[in-house]
Structure 1
Amino acid sequence: MTTLHQIAVIPGDGIGREVIEPAMEVLEQAARQWDFTLAWTTYPWSCAYYTEHGHMMPGDGLDRLAESDAIFLGAVGDPSVADDVSLWGLLIPIRRAFDQYVNLRPLRLLRGIDSPLESLGGAVDLLVVRENSEGEYSEAGGRLFAGTSMETAIQESVFTRRGIERIMRYAFDRAEERTGRLVSATKSNGIIHTMPLWDQICGEIGSERPRITVDSYHIDALAAYFVQRPETLDVVVASNLFGDILSDLGAAIVGGIGLAPSANVNPDRTYPSMFEPVHGSAPDIANLGVANPIGQIWTGALMLEHLGHPEAGAAVVAALEDVLADSDIRTQDLGGSASTAEFTRAVLDALRSKRPAFVNHADEAGPFA
């Protein structure tokens, strides 16, 4: 019997609406070739929805999303709506209500893409494991004496043992599946309470996992390593803020943020996980048909892997690489002239050449195990 997956789709704003349908088309093609079915339910929640209704999603929005097997999200944001309104009205509530405490961001130099770092000595293929539910992006704090000369803004970082332990264990598992090397991002020389706890728990779990080589780098030094020697890194575990910044920097060195995928994962699978590209809604190029769909398509490949179809997901990424390496079809941001639709057609053609191996992957471990 063909496996059916219920997918909630939130196209979002700007180029989000333009790249999500091409990505869905690619995923549909993969589903046909690998014999499973994707059933899509689209929700119009966005900044445009906020302008009309006064909220980013309706009161029962989370209940509706909870019925899905996964959430496929486009870029959200518009200059007419403050970023804190759009983020805290849609994305953050979904991440936290569904306990998506892992933000997984693969950083890989795709075949056919040149890094802007001319000195890059080798291939880049690393994984940023970002804590996604607490840390620096907490709601603790507020403003005092607003509108006066005494106005004060207080923003509290919240790090719990439970939160740190579970993101560390997830990162150690990913490192064990890959090369056995893990780097932890810290700043314990300047942040006196939270980062020493982060380091302490990393050390405690590391003592339980002697096969994993663990290094701890201050965030400023690690940012330099991302630029100077990214090929020496494999799995990097970081707090919410540090992971956010490092993964965007990493995206820049592997070709640009328009190529970068991400996954908000609930490893326990008690709730749906959410898959979104790293790039924003890019209102300056919206409605021109020139947006690069790679980030959204690659994000879809991560979703297929999460749903239990790793071979199909790998084929989608291989199809992207075939187009980039074996043709001159590229969108404008990569120096080409292809439209979103033209690039997508090329990816579909490349994907059709892939053939399922019909290998049982049920017992294989992977990033979403």
Structure 2
Amino acid sequence: MSHRFASIPGDGIGPEVVAAAKTVLDSLSDGHGFSIEWMDFPNGAEHFLKTGEILPDDTISELSTCEAILLGALGDPRVEPGILEKGVLLKLRFAFDQYVNLRPVRFFRGVDSPISTEGRENLSIYFVRENTEDFYVGLGSRFTGSKASENISLERNRYKMKFKIDVEVEGESEGSYQIGVISRGGATRVIRYAFELARKKDRKNLTCVDKANVLTEMYGLWRDVFREISREYDDVETEFGYVDAVAMNLVRSPERYSVLVTPNLFGDILTDLGAGIQGSLGLSPSGNINPEGISMFEPVHGSAPDIAGRGIANPVAAILAAQMMLDTVGEHAAAGELERAVFATLAERGVRTPDLGGKNSTDEMAQAVIEKL
């Protein structure tokens, strides 16, 4: 069997960690009876600065011929923040309707955490984040003067919305607004995914995260949908948690959580907190998933331009992102073997990159994983 995967190395350390992950996958595939055809795409800061292109529609069409996408990192000090993130990352999420952001958080034996791991050595939490709505829909504006008016629209694969905003201001010269959107359909599909994940992974508890005590309309609908769907899953215990309390508990007693389902904004914040308690952003993978379509996988860390080109970036997050990609396309045995190899490599406390307190290179870390396969 052959799999066609796209790679978008991106910026900073992205090309280094993607190259390492591809090397590991190519080594793994031989022993599991499948081959990989890679399609490489240059989209990122360098390409944008040379051509003015961010992510044209014909590139989207080419990407649609692949089973999945492996992304490195986006962001470059030469490009204004938001241009690449919106123009590549968000555009891909919306174009392929990748409505689930799945991020596992776990403690790794052999990796020090900033919080105590005693009695929590087997900690494993799944964050299921809604990935296409909430305050990340891109609807907002800044205005000056006493009056402002704007017609704005939102288009998704499933619906279209139009808004007319009229603003009158007294006593202030400049202002701004941002609109968040949660639809019943958008909430339903990601919450149902979370329940199915809890059942599949034999997790008995699912926490619904929101801020319904303040943002009552948006997150009131979110809670309503959660309650309705929960009636179909008697085998899964449920609870509600306000995002501020959940953040505190993730530091004080993370073992109380098993699976959390969150709106987009809160999920973005909580998952980085989760990555922090496990010891390093260099260990955290992320999947932008469309269960019926093309999914995209990436390390959680950024482009880290300060260490780019030095060969010291930790490739583990990218390798685990590739592992999630294999699992999603049905290569479960290979994905399981790769995950065990990563865990074994970290547990030995031998080869490790500077973020883990070591002196090894990106390539040496990848090679250490390969030797465990």
Equivalent of 2:36, from 38, 42, 50?
Answer: 38
Q: Distance in 2 between matches of 1:331 and 1:108?
A: 19
Matches of 1:268 and 1:111, distance apart in 2: 35
Aligned partners of 1:181 and 1:213 also within 8 Å: yes
Q: Structure 1 pair 93/146, CA: closer, same or farther in 2 (3 Å)?
A: farther
User: Which digits, 9 at most, give the CA deviation of each residue in 1:59-90, with x for residues without a partner?
Assistant: 31111110111111101110111221011110
Equivalent residue of 2:235, what SS? coil
Aligned counterpart, 1:150: 173
- Partner SS for 1:11: strand
Cα deviation 1:208-232 (Å, max 9, x = unaligned):
2221100100000000111111122
Residue in 1 aligned with 2:183?
160
1:170 aligns with 2:193: yes
The equivalent residue for 2:63 is: 65
**Post-superposition offset of 1:327:** 4.3
Aligned to 1:203: 227
Task: Provide the rounded CA distance (Å) in 1 between the counterparts of 2:37 and 2:50.
Answer: 28
1:179 to 2:203 alignment: yes
Structure 1 segments (4+ residues) deviating >3 Å: 146-149
Q: Is the 8 A contact 1:131 1:243 kept in 2?
A: yes
Deviation for aligned residue 1:133: 0.6
Given that 1:55 and 1:89 are in contact with CA atoms closer than 8 Å, whether structure 2 keeps it comes out as: no
In 1, the alpha carbon distance for the partners of 2:206 and 2:192 equals 11
Letter paired with 1:49: H
Counterparts of 1:38 and 1:335 in 2: how far apart (Å)?
33
**Equivalent in 208, 211, 215 of residue 239 of structure 2:** 215
Task: Determine which of 282, 289, 294 is the counterpart of 2:304.
Answer: 282
Letter in 1 for 2:130: E
Deviation at 1:326, TM superposition (A): 2.1
Matching residue's letter, 1:137: Y
Counterpart residue number, 2:160: none
Counterpart secondary structure, 1:302: helix
Provide the rounded CA distance (Å) in 2 between the counterparts of 1:112 and 1:147: 59
Given that 1:116 and 1:255 are in contact with CA atoms closer than 8 Å, whether structure 2 keeps it comes out as: yes
Q: Deviations over 1:254-276 (max 9, x none)?
A: 1111110011111122xx11111
Q: How many residues align?
A: 347
Q: Work out whether residues 49 and 57 of structure 1, in 8 Å CA contact, stay in contact via their aligned partners in 2.
A: no
Deviation at 1:350, TM superposition (A): 0.9
Q: Aligned-pair RMSD on alpha carbons? A: 1.5
Q: Is the 8 A contact 1:124 1:254 kept in 2?
A: no
Residue 132 (structure 1) aligns with? 131
Aligned-pair CA distance for 1:186: 1.2
Larger strand percent: 2
Q: Deviations over 1:286-317 (max 9, x none)?
A: 01110000000000000000111111111111
Q: C-alpha separation between the residues in 2 aligned to 1:134 and 1:300?
A: 26
Contact 1:105 1:128 in 2 (8 A): yes
The answer on whether the counterparts of 1:141 and 1:156 sit within 8 Å (CA) in structure 2 is: yes
Instruction: Give the superposition deviation at 1:97.
Output: 0.8
**CA–CA distance in structure 2, aligned partners of residues 67 and 268 of structure 1:** 14
| Residues 54, 87 of structure 2: 8 Å contact kept | yes
User: Alpha-carbon deviation of 1:57?
Assistant: 2.2
Instruction: Work out whether 1:225 is the aligned partner of 2:249.
Output: yes
Q: In 2, Cα distance between the equivalents of 1:215 and 1:83?
A: 37
2:143 alignment partner AA: L
> What is the aligned counterpart of 1:257 among 281, 290, 301?
281
CA contact (8 A) 1:120 1:229 kept: no
Greater shift in the superposed pair: 80-89 or 143-152: 143-152
The separation in 1 between residues aligned to 2:349 and 2:257, in whole angstroms, is: 30
Name the residue aligned to 2:162: none
Distance (Å, rounded) in 2 between the aligned partners of 1:49 and 1:189: 45
Whole-angstrom distance in 1 between the partners of 2:347 and 2:146: 56
Structure 2, unaligned runs of 5 or more: 148-171
What percent of counterpart residues are identical? Answer: 41
* 3-state SS, counterpart of residue 70 of structure 2: strand
- Contact 2:107 2:117 (C-alpha < 8 Å) held by counterparts: no
Aligned to 1:112: 110
Alpha-carbon distance in 1 for matches of 2:136, 2:130: 10
Q: Secondary structure at the match of 1:60?
A: helix
TM-score scaled to structure 2, two decimals? 0.90
Which consecutive unaligned segments of at least 5 residues does structure 1 have? 352-369
Using the size of structure 1 for normalisation, the TM-score is 0.91
